[in-house]
Amino acid sequence: MDSFTLILSVVALLYIGGTIYLANVQEREKSQSGTARSGRLLNWLLYGIAAVILYLGLNVVAVATLAPGSVAAPEPESPPVSVTAALVALVVSALASAVSILVVASPATRLAIRRALGSSVRYDPDSGVHTTGIVMALALLAVVAAQFVLGGGIVGLAEMIETSGISLGEVTFTGLLWVVVALLGVGLAVRRTLPAVLERLGLRAPTRQDITAGIGVGLLLYLLSIAVLAVWSAVVPPEQLLEQTAAAEQLGQAINSLPLVLAVSLTAAVGEEIFFRGAMQPVFGMVPVSIFFALLHTQYVLPLRLPCPAVVTVLAVRGAVAVERVAAPVVEVLAALDARRQSGARVLVADARAAVAAVVGAVVGVRRAVRDARAVDRLAAAVANGAVRAADGGAG
């Protein structure tokens, strides 16, 4: 990392950290005096993030369209940037920027989000912390999309990791960064004490019921992942599936030491889960956070040229809904079974039926995902063929 990149990274982290801190200060002021003196400054900081989001998309398009040898063109050793993918990244950035501005400026938009999320979550349309969380999430999606396109897709990402390797220090820093952002986001040392922060994030010693539920849901999700892999193999062209498999093998070979394996595992199991499940999920709900998490990690499984982005969206939404509908009854069933086992009572037939119903629900969710994904893929193919015929007719 050169000096300019290092300085830019430090400035970005300070800006983000300062914005999150100011959002918590505003929350504290509202709870103490009923007014938020720092609200205007917070809004301007969020508008600045929205501007940076749009700039990212414009920068990707500039890199993709500039001639080699120009000032802003990529280096000769950099992977080629697809113009089509760059335009998609621009659309993502423009939408994320526009939504960010609406969320900050429009109370009606925040109320609409409140209604869409339902009453089971803690989202507060008047909370500066929650508004900041939405803008930060959109910014993170835009950054991931821009990096994915500029890096040349999954193949470029795999080649870069194979060439430069994965640093243990970088992995550790990333995991710690997730934790620090989560702690700061829920107001550590600003509006909550450390015990209150740990309670808010759900950090406590696991009980026997937690372990039992974790094992059961983990096995269920493992089966669901196999089903999703089968669905993905059915909707992705064979050559792209081979490209993904080869890239995944390159990524796996880069994690070639036990300390690195442990670090990568812990950053996902501890750092990311504290941020996504502990900090975000109670506010925005399981389905939105699951979709957000999946979108942030699609760069590890998707090629630069997707068969149909709508297919990915359908699978992500259907999968998240299926997990939400299945995970809750499975946890309840496992907890009931554990309680009955401890009390010496016999397992009722109703418990077994509930467990079977949960598994059947998972299968139905996957089947619906396959059906909807194939329907969307057929529609996208028909639209593409129509556009090609129209172009050929216009040229003739």
Q: Return the SS3 of 120.
A: coil
Number of folded domains that form the chain = 1
Q: Does 94 reside within a domain?
A: yes
Q: Does 32 reside within a domain?
A: yes
Rounded CA Rg of the chain = 23
pLDDT at 77: 59
pLDDT at 114: 95
Short-list 89, 101, 104, 87, CA closest to 26: 104
pLDDT at 66: 77
Q: Return the SS3 of 194.
A: helix
Pair 53, 97: CB distance under 8 Å: yes
Q: Does 224 reside within a domain?
A: no
Provide block-wise average pLDDT over 10 residues at a time, the chain (396 residues): 82 95 93 82 96 94 72 58 88 95 96 92 94 96 90 73 77 90 95 94 89 86 81 77 72 75 81 93 93 78 44 47 51 57 53 55 55 54 51 48
pLDDT at 111: 95
Q: Does 134 reside within a domain?
A: yes
pLDDT at 55: 95
Q: Does 267 reside within a domain?
A: no
Q: Does 47 reside within a domain?
A: yes
| DSSP state letter for 298 | G
Q: Quote the CA–CA distance of 120 and 122 in Å, as a whole number.
A: 7
Q: Does 296 reside within a domain?
A: no
Match 């539920």 to its residue by tokens: 213
Short-list 57, 342, 119, 359, CA closest to 221: 359
Q: Does 96 reside within a domain?
A: yes
Residues 6+ apart with CB under 8 A from 144: 295, 296, 299
| Domain hosting residue 44, numbered range | 1-151
Residues 6+ apart with CB under 8 A from 373: 231, 235, 311, 314, 315, 318
pLDDT at 372: 55
Pair 79, 152: CB distance under 8 Å: yes
Q: Quote the CA–CA distance of 288 and 294 in Å, as a whole number.
A: 10
Using CB atoms within 10 Å of the CB of residue 3, give its burial: 0 to 12 exposed, 13 to 18 middle, 19+ buried. exposed
| DSSP state letter for 38 | T
